Structure 1
């Protein structure tokens, strides 16, 4: 308290920021909000005299319940428009929303009975997968965590609620034009593992002509947004940088969501976000962060299937990528 929180603390704001990963004003805001909502978290020794994780568990639940609906919500129409404008100016890709990718978090104390289920041959140890959609300003707009590590990115995508609003017909239509062709919805940049959907733009594996080589160079550079986000997230919170030593998957999930919420709060507090909060639609409940699919009646379900087929239309995927290749070459081919 004397070093950081007295009226004349020993260390100034720069040291506080480096030690706590956030400004003192944001730190105080979080503490006051948790206290105002009667969130109980207090570090106490367990039966063996060691400091337990009970305090951490209550803190993470408090962060999710108080801030989750605000900092893990879906983008609004205004957000989408600002993201498209920002990414076109920054990366040269009209219609680009964000970048999508997955990582594995090692689970050191995975239950023995579950180890085969959570172990992937590429890693050799139990892991839990995290799917993230991030923008150029490192804001995390979508998070889906908890899939067993034996899955791959496509398996995670098939379980993810990322396209629920599209499949339910509630996604806003934000048209954009590229190379003279108009498209109704934006897209995500992905690596080569992802399927050829209308909402994804992938690179070329072995391009031969200069147009495709230039596109590959710029697409892979722009897709680094999500890679940088993973790096900043792990550098900021040592808890998720190393293997998880917790026993219960629910507690591990709370830690991951709490770290992502705090990450977004820091991005907003430091003024690096492209979005401005506009409460023009109901907030998503923090207890339903992952989202659900409401199929409804038979007629609604038929429309649901049609929208799913349009999302998976390979023809539009290839047309969009071809138009982007021509657009990139026309603007940056001589660079």
Structure 2
């Protein structure tokens, strides 16, 4: 196993090690490009979607700001990472694994991002292919497992039956928005 492979194993098993991503981003892209130029595949190379996602949102010097993260996923990065780590502990489906050919699968951050984008925007699962490089069938499976994990991991803390005061507060907000909207129309 060469040094690129060893560092990639370290990166994918820890996933939150942003320093390792910065060190590996350029070298992995170069190694992947060289492998593609030779017509082969290089074992241990992380998929480009994972590196780009990490560089865009999760590195210390991320391309996009926390405000942009909020706009795209409708939550703070800290909450998103709490969800990701909760899922990783609940089900090993959300942990990146190597297949029999030595290629790495999708990271937990990629899987959770695909599911969150589908929920935040109401997008169909095939839209994850554009930037996360995830097929529709994988995204659909991820959505299913994501829903099961949300209920299993966070139900006792966040999913509870509505109370009368909650319902009254929600209705009050909706009614006041309608009234202000109707006033603006006239």
Fold equivalence (TM over 0.5): no
Question: Under a length normalisation based on structure 2, what TM-score does the superposition of the two structures give?
Answer: 0.39
- Bigger share in strand: 1
- Whichever structure has more helix as a proportion of its residues is 2
Q: TM-score, normalised by structure 1?
A: 0.22
